[in-house]
Amino acid sequence: MTVLFAEAYSTKMSKTVHIGSKSQFDSLLRSSKIVVTDFYADWCGPCKQIAPIYEQLSAQLSRPNKITFAKVDTEQQREVAQRYGVTALPTFIIFKNTEIVESIKGADPRKLQAVVKKLSAEADSDGANGFGEASSSGSASWTAASLPKGYSDVTDQVDVRGLDLLNSASECGTARTLFDNSKPSALDSGKGKGKGPSNEEEDKKDWVESDTDEQLMLYVPFMSTLKVHTLHITSLPAKDDDEPPMRPKTIQLYSNRAHVLGFDEAEDLPATQAITLSPRDWDEKTGTAKVELRFVKFQNITSLVVFIVDGEGSGDKVRIDRMRIVGETGEKRDLGKLEKVGEHD
C-alpha cells in the first residue's frame, strides 16, 4: 500500500470490537448479520498503514446487529487465526450469517472499501431493490445505482462546509441537500414531487431547483485528494406538474478550482470534461444517471465545479435531487486554511 491511501483516523469514537477470546468472537458472529474482521499484528507495517481506513469504515458503517467491525491480534488470539487459516497479514475476512463470504489478503484499501460498502448496502436493503439501492436507515449513504467494480462511493469526502451553489431557488434545498445521506422523498411519494424529511416545514423541499433560468453552478471541495471515476446524478421532476422542471442535459466539469465559477467565467473557460445526457441515460425507477468521467483527467482531484448548462426540454428550470461521487480516496487534505472566497468581502 502506498501513502496515497493513508488517511487520518476518524474523529468519531471507534466502534470496532477488539476480540479477547474465541468465545467472544463466536458470540459476535451469531449476534451480527455481517462481521468484518481485521486479522493483524502489532509488528506488521502494512497492518498499521491500512488501520486508519479500517477505522474510518467502522465509524461510518457499523450498525448494531447488522454490521460489526472486529480486530483480532493474531499474536494474542492464535487459535482464532489458525481456525480461519490466516497465513498472511493483514487478512480481512468478512462473515455473513456466520459464514465466510469474502477474504482479502494484504493491505488493499480499494478492494476493502469496495467489498465492505457493497455488503453494507446489501445489509440495508430490503431485498426488493434491483438497481443497487440502499435504505436510508443507519449511517450508510443512500445510493441509487450500482458501483463500478473496484471503486467506492466517496461522497463522504465532500467538505460540506465549503459547498457553494449559484442560481438556486430559495424555496428548495441547498447544496448540502444534494449530498444528504437520505433517500429522496420523491421516491417514497412515488410521484416525483416529494417533500422535505421534516414535517416542521411543509414547504421544505429536499431537492435543488434553478431559479431565474435553467443553469446551476455547484462548487464541491473535498476533504481528501480523490480519483473520480463516476458521478451519480438523481433528478425526479414531478410528472403531474403543469410546468415540471427539467433534468440536466449538458454538464461541464472543471477540476481543482479554488472557488465557484461565475456563469460568464465558466463559459469562457475550457471544461475538463463536457457531458451531454440523453433521456435514455436516466434509470426509469430511480431517476438516476451514471455519468462516467475520463478517469485519466480526474486524478488527484481536490475540488469540482459542476456547471449545469441546460436541461432536457423546453422548460426554464432544472431539478437535481441527489449527487454521489464514485472513485478512490487518497491523502487527507489540510483544510485549516480553507476559506470561502468572498466570505469576508
Phi/psi region, residue 65 (left: phi>0; alpha: psi -120 to 50; beta: rest), is left
CA gap 223, 237 in Å, rounded: 31
Catalytic member of 19, 35, 47, 70? 47
172 catalytic residue (yes or no) = no
Q: Tell me which residue of 314, 174, 175, 194 sits closest to 246, measured CA to CA.
A: 314
Residue type at position 62: S
Question: Contact at 8 Å (CB) between 225 and 327?
Answer: no
Catalytic member of 19, 36, 44, 80? 44
Question: Contact at 8 Å (CB) between 309 and 215?
Answer: yes
Cis peptide before 237 (omega within 30 of 0): no
The SS3 assignment for 278 reads coil
CA gap 270, 264 in Å, rounded: 12
Q: What angle do CA 107, 326, 116 make, to 5 degrees?
A: 45
Grid coordinates representing 16 are 470496532
Q: Point out the residues that are catalytic.
A: 44, 47
